Chains A and B, each alone.
Chain A
Amino acid sequence: QRSPLNDFQVLRGTELQHLLHAVGSRPWQEDVADAEECAGRCGPLLDCRAFHYNVSSHGCQLLPWTQHSPHTRLQRSRRCDLFQKKSYVRTCIMDNGVEYRGTVAITVGGLPCQRWSLRFPNDHKYTPTLRNGLEENFCRNPDRDPGGPWCYTTDPAVRFQSCGIKSCREAACLLCNGEDYRGSVDRTESGRECQRWDLQHPHPHPFEPSKFLEKNLDDNYCRNPDGSERPWCYTTDPQMEREFCDLPHCGSEAQPRHEATTLNCFRGKGEGYRGTVNTTAAGVPCQRWDAQHPHQHRFAPEKYACKDLRENFCRNPDGSEAPWCFTSRPGMRVAFCYQIRRCADDVRPEDCYHGAGELYRGSVSKTRKGVRCQRWSAETPHKPQFTPTSAPQAQLEENFCRNPDRDSHGPWCYTTDPGTPFDYCALRRCDNDQPPSILEPPDQVLFAECGKRVTRLDPRRSRLR
């Protein structure tokens, strides 16, 4: 059940402009149901190399060029996705490269290729046609040479030579379990074609590319989004839901991009945690990773050499939210080890303040996460509620950390990060400064009233409790 889209590589939110021909002159076909139908129209046409799909109007525009064609340019677009035939844009070859339509034009010996339309300096029997794609002087494989795409050379002494274009399988190797694999292999180890990640047929699945941006679930290429032992994909065979891909490991000397390992706390999702905590947050001892009892599992330590699945320590071999383990309790398969502290990821404080820092007049001007502060007199990226004129007593100068609203958590600033209006600063309370205790306050804060509440919803009266 392969989709016609399997032959295409998508660039979301992108339009391909042709600097000589107005792309708009190409007709739009508005009556297509979806991108798959558009692919079904473009696929069989020899002079269709790509198409625009308008996600709002469901229109499609067939194109005889790709981003590698002369005088073309990619352009951000709100309404279009650009689908290009893989054979024209993939930089590696599948099988022996008979389908290769890329633009490499140099032989493995560094000789420029002779144009296929010329018979000089090397005469030959080929006539360029749309079908054989013998275009310009690009490397091709019209005779199914096992060595892959080749060309006649411009050197009379060397009639023809291979171009040495790598197979997609060899072009990218695996580090660790291949979570970072971003290669272009779209076949499983049994040769089945992969299902596109952005399709839910023949196999529905939770890995929607837009939800897992950092996993680059592109087109139908092999990936490892769930911490499996190596990259895999859903297959176009309805009888086989998913299957591993056959990809070479990089040499042992190529060490994986290691998260900085931590011992007494965990950073991010804890994939770099290498401490020895071996009970779950619920206090249940962990099962050893090299054991299959009471829980059978696929995380054999030897298959996850980079993940340090030693003994029964909490680990995060599959990119879960936090370090976890199989538990020694038959009724509880896995559990997080949330009791491990998170490493503080604040930057080192550069100064200190007294009280709540209302009188801090230092020049620290970055937040506790290291983001530079916005100037108090600026209006972007955040429109300030406190300005040098509206709060003269606070001396809001430059972009220095201040506390114009007597925030009990210390000096703060508007940040230059558009996504974070304000944050506290890379400051700490001075050592000799003890905050007033709230536990023995001079006057007990009595609870006058709580926030607004839709009384008819009061759970007690509604008897729903």
Chain B
Amino acid sequence: VVGGQPGNSPWTVSLRNRQGQHFCGGSLVKEQWVLTAQQCFSSCNMPLMGYEVWLGTLFQNPQPGEPGLQRVPVAKMVCGPSGSQLVLLKLERPVTLNQRVALICLPPERYVVPPGTNCEIAGWGETKGTGDNTVLNMALLNVISNQECNGKHRGRVRESEMCTEGLLAPVGACEGDYGGPLACFTHDCWVLQGIIIPNRVCARPRWPAIFTRVSVFVDWIHKVMRL
């Protein structure tokens, strides 16, 4: 996260590849299910042997034996509807919820986040020198309407996407954050409204950032977990 500061996001998970390296973020939507970005994986049926999800820590490279760290192998991957840029990961076993690991709520189907809503992103990705790469960073962003967003992005923003306003200072997600949450505090609850997806440039000043709108795919998420 560029222009963020260290923080705590108990539903944000770290995806680890076979060498144990962090390569993307994810959001814990159920004890055994993580929602992330399809961009993080080479294909919908790649072998997942050795891929893990790490939770319960603020450090990108927690020391072995760090209290609260949970490492769970990824058992299965289900790609989202075409154009969703989403992937659901089924974990080999449910995680343990505690002070450091919590679920984030899903929004109602087709819910549209009102412009001006205050949201936050979280991730262990690139800070471009603006922060501490070794810990989880977060940044606050305000939602803007797709109409306003399309003013800058020349109509390219789809209804299945949503935007946050481009701030004067460079603030936003970057490589290594993809798949992580855009969480908005609504009715006394943190709700997963967006998924961080690669934008053409990270945290470009005065340039709205685009996220996948989760509410458009909530029916798919429930269906996968049910089936």
Interface size for chain B: under 10, 10 to 19, 20 to 34, or 35 or more residues? 35 or more
- Could you say which of A410, A439, A462 has the most chain B C-beta atoms within 10 Å of its C-beta? A439
Closest chain B residue to A225 by CB distance? B18
B97 near A: Cβ within 8 Å?
yes
A408 near B: Cβ within 8 Å?
yes
Q: How far is the CB of B152 from chain A (nearest CB, A)?
A: 16
Chain-B contact segment, one of A19-27, A168-176, A227-235, A333-341: A333-341
B126 touches A457 (CB 8 A): no
A409 touches B81 (CB 8 A): yes
Assembled-state Cα–Cα distance A464/B198 (Å) = 29
Assess A447 versus B201: contact at CB under 8 Å? Given A331-B129, A409-B220. Answer: no
User: From DSSP, what is the main secondary structure of chain B's interface residues?
Assistant: loop
Assess A457 versus B10: contact at CB under 8 Å? Given A437-B159, A450-B187. Answer: yes
A211 touches B49 (CB 8 A): yes
Looking at the complex, which one of B38, B45, B98, B129 makes contact with A457 (CB distance below 8 Å)? B98
B175 touches A211 (CB 8 A): no
Looking at the complex, which one of B108, B129, B175, B227 makes contact with A281 (CB distance below 8 Å)? B175
Looking at the complex, which one of A208, A369, A439, A450 makes contact with B50 (CB distance below 8 Å)? A208
**1/0 contact string of B52-80 vs chain A (CB within 8 Å):** 00000000000000000000000010100
- Which residues on A sit within 8 Å (CB–CB) of B110? 408, 438, 441, 445
Interface size for chain A: under 10, 10 to 19, 20 to 34, or 35 or more residues? 35 or more
B89 near A: Cβ within 8 Å?
no
Closest chain A residue to B106 by CB distance? A451
B19 touches A206 (CB 8 A): yes
B187 touches A465 (CB 8 A): no
- Which residues on A sit within 8 Å (CB–CB) of B129? 331
Q: How far is the CB of B132 from chain A (nearest CB, A)?
A: 13
- Which residues on B sit within 8 Å (CB–CB) of A270? 42
B146 near A: Cβ within 8 Å?
yes
**1/0 contact string of B89-121 vs chain A (CB within 8 Å):** 000000001111011011111111000000000
Assembled-state Cα–Cα distance A465/B100 (Å) = 10
Closest chain B residue to A414 by CB distance? B227
Assembled-state Cα–Cα distance A457/B8 (Å) = 13
Q: How far is the CB of B94 from chain A (nearest CB, A)?
A: 14
Looking at the complex, which one of A338, A420, A437, A448 makes contact with B108 (CB distance below 8 Å)? A448
In A266-303, the 8 Å CB interface with B consists of 268-270, 279-284
B10 touches A346 (CB 8 A): no
In B152-199, the 8 Å CB interface with A consists of 159, 174-175, 178, 186-187, 189-191, 198-199
A447 touches B204 (CB 8 A): no
B141 near A: Cβ within 8 Å?
no
Assess A438 versus B220: contact at CB under 8 Å? Given A338-B39, A447-B187, A465-B7. Answer: no
A-B complex: 10 closest residue pairs judged by Cβ atoms: A450-B105, A211-B50, A409-B81, A450-B189, A283-B201, A451-B105, A281-B175, A338-B198, A282-B202, A269-B42
Give me the interface of B with A, judged by CB distance under 8 Å. Answer: 2, 7-8, 10, 17-20, 23, 38-47, 49-50, 76, 78, 81-82, 84, 97-100, 102-103, 105-112, 126, 128-129, 145-147, 159, 174-175, 178, 186-187, 189-191, 198-202, 204, 215-217, 219-220, 223, 226-227
Q: Other than A282-B174, A342-B38, give 16 A-B pairs with Cβ distance below 8 A.
A: A211-B49, A211-B50, A268-B46, A279-B201, A282-B2, A283-B204, A322-B42, A332-B128, A338-B39, A407-B219, A424-B81, A424-B82, A439-B147, A450-B105, A457-B98, A459-B102
